[in-house]
């Protein structure tokens, strides 16, 4: 899948959002903020986690939409899911592509081949609009948090913690 698939998804569902094609790739929060000239708080990252079942097998994936100024805290994600931290792991690039249809660095917060449980950190709601993965490394989705909530099954949670000082912009 790519940005054209995401654009078709948005159009088919009447999502009030804009897909921005950019002059350079923006695979990280910092790169996206720099290219757009906005603070990192305005970038919403989509992070895919896998939950290991009690028998060692995996259950459906969970997408976490978080504010770019904060890191996703695994313990808080696990707590929101009612599981132990040991059962939660970050999806690898191949798993992200297989489950979302998009490559790492381009994952949007919606528009997957099949529905994914979605957790949205409450800090995302503090922004008037956010920029998220746009389906390609040189595309970003501009959307309001209210519209994102309207079109996704997102559960509002507090799963982000402070970013390490070296990663703050």
User: Looking at residues 3-22, what average pLDDT do you find?
Assistant: 96
Tell me the domains of the chain and their CATH numbers.
3-167 (3.90.960.10)
79: nearest Cα among 112, 36, 121: 121
What is the C-alpha to C-alpha distance for residues 25 and 61, in angstroms, rounded to an integer?
26
| pLDDT value, residue 160 | 82
Distances (CA, A) of 162 to 32, 41, 138, 165: 19, 12, 27, 9
* Least confident interval from 32-41, 58-67, 157-166: 157-166
| pLDDT value, residue 83 | 92
| pLDDT value, residue 167 | 46
What is the C-alpha to C-alpha distance for residues 68 and 31, in angstroms, rounded to an integer?
11
**In the chain, pLDDT over 90 holds for what percent of residues?**
85
| pLDDT value, residue 48 | 97
Q: How many CA atoms lie within 13 A of 34 on its CB side?
A: 11
What is the C-alpha to C-alpha distance for residues 154 and 145, in angstroms, rounded to an integer?
11
109: nearest Cα among 166, 157, 147: 147
- On the question of pLDDT at 162 being above 90, the answer is no
Read off the pLDDT of residues 31-45 as tens digits, 9 standing for 90 and up.
999 999 999 999 999
- On the question of pLDDT at 154 being above 70, the answer is yes
Read off the pLDDT of residues 129-139 as tens digits, 9 standing for 90 and up.
999 999 999 99
pLDDT band at 166 (very low <50, low <70, confident <90, very high): very low
Quick one: how far is CA 130 from the chain centroid? Answer: 11
Read off the pLDDT of residues 72-122 as tens digits, 9 standing for 90 and up.
999 999 999 999 999 999 999 999 999 999 999 999 999 999 989 999 999
| pLDDT value, residue 77 | 95
Tell me the sheet residues that pair with 54: none
| pLDDT value, residue 169 | 38
Contacts of 79 (CB under 8 A, 6+ apart): none
- DSSP one-letter string for 134-149: -SSTTEEEEE-HHHHH
């Amino acid at each position: 899948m790519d940005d054209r698939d995401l654009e078709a998804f948005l159009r088919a569902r009447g999502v009030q959002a804009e897909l921005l094609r950019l002059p350079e790739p923006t695979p990280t929060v910092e790169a996206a903020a720099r290219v757009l000239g906005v603070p990192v708080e305005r970038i919403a990252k989509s992070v895919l986690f896998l939950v290991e079942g009690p028998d060692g097998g995996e259950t459906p994936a969970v997408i976490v939409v978080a504010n770019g100024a904060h890191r996703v805290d695994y313990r808080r994600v696990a707590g929101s899911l009612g599981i132990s931290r040991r059962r939660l792991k970050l999806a690898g690039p191949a798993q992200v592509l297989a489950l979302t249809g998009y490559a790492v660095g381009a994952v949007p917060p919606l528009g997957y081949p099949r529905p994914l449980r979605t957790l949205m950190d409450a800090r995302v709601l503090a922004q008037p609009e956010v920029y998220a993965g746009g389906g390609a490394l040189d595309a970003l989705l501009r959307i309001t948090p209210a519209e994102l909530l309207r079109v996704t099954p997102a559960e509002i949670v507090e799963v982000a913690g402070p970013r390490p000082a070296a990663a703050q912009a």
